[in-house]
Amino acid sequence: MLAVLCTSPARAFDPLLAERSLPATPAAGFAPVMAMCESSPLGMPLTLGEAVSRTLCRNPKTREAWANEKAQAAAVGQARAAYLPTVSANWQGVRDSSREDVQNYPNLSSDTTATIRSMTVTLNWLLYDFGGRKAALRGADDLLAAARATHNATLQDEFATVAKDYDAAQAAQGALDAAREIERMTGNSMTAARTRVERGVAPLSDALQAQTQHEQAVSNVMKADGDLQTALGILASDMGLDPDVPLTVPPVSAPPTVDDGDEPVAALIDQVKRMHPAVLAAEAQYEAAQEKVAQTRAGSLPSVSLVGRYSRNNQPASLGLGIPTFPATGRDTYIGVQISIPLFEGFNRHYGVHQAQAQVQYQQAVLDGTREQVALDVWNAWQGVRTAKGSVVQDEKLLGIARQAFEAASHRYRAGVGSILEVLSTQAALASAQQRQVQALSDWHSQRWLLASKLGRLDMDDIARDVPVGAQ
């Protein structure tokens, strides 16, 4: 066994099979993420799949949840170990010098010096304890299940967070592109106004008004670029990178065709109150608290153990005073059954049971609160998806109308039958419609990811589909 322990890598030796179900990375069951847990260059542009993979592997919150799951798995191993015997060995070597002077009887005096070595091996095996070990093991299993569910819930939250931040970065990129397009349009309008002023067919105020709007567009480009860099810094931080790491993302894309085939929100709420990882974690903690009550009560009952001991020493022997010592070897061996009966502990166990029962009540309240919270989260996210769907459709119509109005006003102005105010007004409306469309698309994507995470259904396949399960 020592040879195996010395030559096996970390976590390879698991004799009680407590750690066999542990995930190999913080990304747990997200299989396609495994490759991203190793160092690799960033993609240019960065895809959502890569952003999610890096976040699930390297984000401090996911690594914290993973470490907690490993700790609870080790606790299960400790609980299983309570069913096995304990064997301890002790070796002692001393140099013993003993001198005894008997007054008036020198013949009875002694002076001995010896090197004494002793060895002891002790066995203790708990055979029966009225369910204490069993309750402890069930409680450890429940806490492991809670840690695993918490890890899953953390992955769902971080998945949704990085998806939202990625969409925000895409929206910022789209807003920058829109701002540059607006800058180009205002530049064209300013050039057209100056041309008409130079020809004497328009007042100077037309050129000045067009120039004012163009300068505002230039300022908006600078602000949009700053917003993009901020969004990219947040996205880099999600992936465990420094905020100044260069990143690029594509502009936000149009969503698939919006349909009205939503799953009823009542069914979603009923399901999430039963199956959400946070609810499963709270249920497991509640069950662990109940097992703690049984374990505490069992501690006040008798226990039966198998005990054994073997000892050996070379303590010199003597027949009496004045007689020299002689080399000797002593041995002591026993094996038997030991019954331990706790009679009185100062009411310590009594109040321990009360504490465990109160903890059960606390975990019950936490479970009820968790169910209420996940139901509310699903309701809010579902409403957000509905609103985002409507905004996408409406803003798309608004953009089309604004673009047609601007094109018509520009054509009229160049033909000499329109005013600069009409051009600037429709131009501003078009700029606002473009920005609203970019934001609506970003909100649509973000709300779908948010709803899927609140349902506890996010996985890497959703990225390929671009439609999270439960958020269609």
Shared domain for 186 and 111, answered yes or no, is no
In a domain, 333, yes or no: yes
Angle of helix 60-81 versus helix 48-58 axis, rounded to 10: 50
Shared domain for 391 and 322, answered yes or no, is no
- Residue 352 in tokens: 């321990």
- Alpha carbon distances (Å) from 244 to 29, 41, 54, 235, 236: 31, 15, 16, 11, 8
Shared domain for 197 and 284, answered yes or no, is yes
In a domain, 14, yes or no: no
- Which of 277, 312, 341 represents a domain boundary (last residue)? 341
In a domain, 236, yes or no: yes
**Could you say which DSSP state residue 258 is in?**
P
- Which of 292, 310, 341 represents a domain boundary (last residue)? 341
In a domain, 4, yes or no: no
Indicate which CATH number applies to the domain containing 237. Answer: 1.20.1600.10
Give 298's contacts (C-beta < 8 A, 6+ positions apart). 129, 130, 131, 132, 135
Indicate which CATH number applies to the domain containing 309. Answer: 2.20.200
In a domain, 184, yes or no: yes
CB 316 within 8 A of CB 328: yes
Tell me the CA end-to-end span of the chain in Å, nearest whole number.
55
Shared domain for 205 and 105, answered yes or no, is no
Residue 66, number of CB atoms within 10 A of its CB: 23
Shared domain for 312 and 221, answered yes or no, is no
C-alpha to C-alpha distance for 439 and 423, rounded to whole angstroms? 24
In a domain, 61, yes or no: yes
Shared domain for 296 and 439, answered yes or no, is yes
pLDDT string in tens for the chain (472-residue length): 444 444 444 455 889 989 888 888 888 766 555 555 666 788 888 888 888 888 888 888 989 999 999 999 999 999 999 999 999 999 998 887 877 777 777 777 777 787 888 999 999 999 999 999 999 999 999 999 999 999 999 998 898 899 889 989 988 998 898 889 889 888 888 888 888 788 887 788 888 888 888 898 899 999 999 999 999 999 999 988 899 999 999 877 665 455 444 578 898 999 999 999 999 999 999 999 999 999 999 988 999 999 999 999 887 776 665 566 777 888 899 999 999 999 988 899 899 999 999 999 999 999 999 999 999 999 999 999 889 888 888 888 998 998 899 889 888 877 777 788 888 888 888 888 888 888 888 888 888 888 888 888 877 766 655 545 445 4
What range does the domain containing 335 cover?
86-127+302-341
Shared domain for 195 and 323, answered yes or no, is no
Number of domains in the chain: 2
Shared domain for 379 and 413, answered yes or no, is yes
In a domain, 399, yes or no: yes
341 phi and psi, to 5 degrees? -120, 110
- Residue 355 in tokens: 């504490």
Residue type at position 218: V
Shared domain for 309 and 383, answered yes or no, is no
- Which of 310, 341, 372 represents a domain boundary (last residue)? 341
Per-residue b/e over 126-138, b at no fewer than 16 CB within 10 Å? beebbebbbbbbb
Prior bond of 45 cis (ω within 30°): yes
Shared domain for 76 and 123, answered yes or no, is no
- Residue 178 in tokens: 């829109």
Shared domain for 294 and 390, answered yes or no, is yes
Shared domain for 433 and 408, answered yes or no, is yes
**Could you say which DSSP state residue 37 is in?**
G
Helices (H), 326-347: none
In a domain, 30, yes or no: no
